[in-house]
Amino acid sequence: MNLETGKFVPAVPVPLDAEVQVAYDDFLVEEPELVPMSLERLAKIRAEVDAAVAALGDLSRGGRFIVSQPSVPGLDGAPEIPLLVCTPAGAPVSRPALYFMHGGGFFCNDHRIGLDQQLEAAERFGATLISIGYRLAPEHPYPAQINDAYAGLLWAADHADELGIDPERIVVTGYSAGGGLSAALALTVRDKGGPRLLGQLLMGPMLDDRNDSASAMQMDGIEFWNRSYSGFGWSSLLGDVRGTADVPQYAAPARATDLTGLPPAFLDVGSAECLRDEIVDYAARIWQAGGKAELHVWPGGFHAFDREVPEARISKAAVAARHNWLERLLATD
């Protein structure tokens, strides 16, 4: 029992998948101690992201994609929002769109890197990938991120003919913090209007600012992305409001009391990651509200295992499950 939260905390962490364990052991050779996240580390992490952006090669993937990088108006006079728009060459008009939000705990990463899986899905399904460069915390706290996501979505729907997409076939999707933003965007569109979303593909989403679930405690100090990183992200986003009753559902979707009327959802998570229980709970609450949700808990996976160890069998199975869901979603629309 955790005396701070009054919640049961498992005494033993979940074992990792055998192939994932190899990658984890290699990581520990380089960094034998998991250093807590802090403002001091933030500059270093962002510098590494900037270097990755600077090293970007041909975004068209050798001409397989038609690429543009428009900047679109922010919400209510906010700064313009950079987008990356990638359309498979030869894709039909009135195609679906994958509206993607990157991860990084709300405080780091960039909308132009780490897109291999999203581009693979776009090419497979003849869809346009729209990746949004939302503002980062703590310089830009809530509601900057959801406002940027919402404004970009409204722009994409309003410019559907220009983009060659069907505004009725937009799937919002994202990793980690981007998965949480995708869930928040689905709530925003339901409550404030906008294009009818076809679905929400939530990969390891950050959903709950309280960061106190049994899995968060169980995997703390063990998993790559632990309570320190989640806590830093939520504090960067919400400041002193974090953990109080004043946190809005459009910041932390786990706070939503009404999950009716949402588009079909796909959620996945590793069994050995700190976000496991909040994601499982969110899926269960969608079902309890009469909604559609597909949930996958990948045994022995840590946070973003499919990106860190893409050749592992569990990673390939996770990607295949997402593609299978997208295929069924697009076929039944």
Please report whether residue 12 resides in a domain: no
Range of 207's domain?
A: 18-332
Mean pLDDT of 63-71: 97
Phi, psi dihedral angles at 140 (to 5 degrees): -125, 90
Q: Rounded to whole angstroms, how far apart are CA atoms 156 and 160?
A: 6
Q: What is the CATH number of the domain that holds 276?
A: 3.40.50.1820
Which of 162, 150, 65, 53 has the alpha carbon at shortest distance from 101?
Answer: 150
Q: Rounded to whole angstroms, how far apart are CA atoms 89 and 277?
A: 40
Number of domains into which the chain is organized? 1
In this prediction the pTM is: 0.96
Please report whether residue 269 resides in a domain: yes
Please report whether residue 95 resides in a domain: yes
Please report whether residue 9 resides in a domain: no
Please report whether residue 6 resides in a domain: no
Structure confidence by residue, pLDDT tens digits, 130-173? 999 999 999 999 999 999 999 999 999 999 999 999 999 999 99
Please report whether residue 11 resides in a domain: no
Per-residue pLDDT, 166: 98
Please report whether residue 117 resides in a domain: yes
Average pLDDT of the chain to the nearest whole number: 95
Q: Rounded to whole angstroms, how far apart are CA atoms 266 and 197?
A: 13
Per-residue pLDDT, 292: 98
Please report whether residue 246 resides in a domain: yes
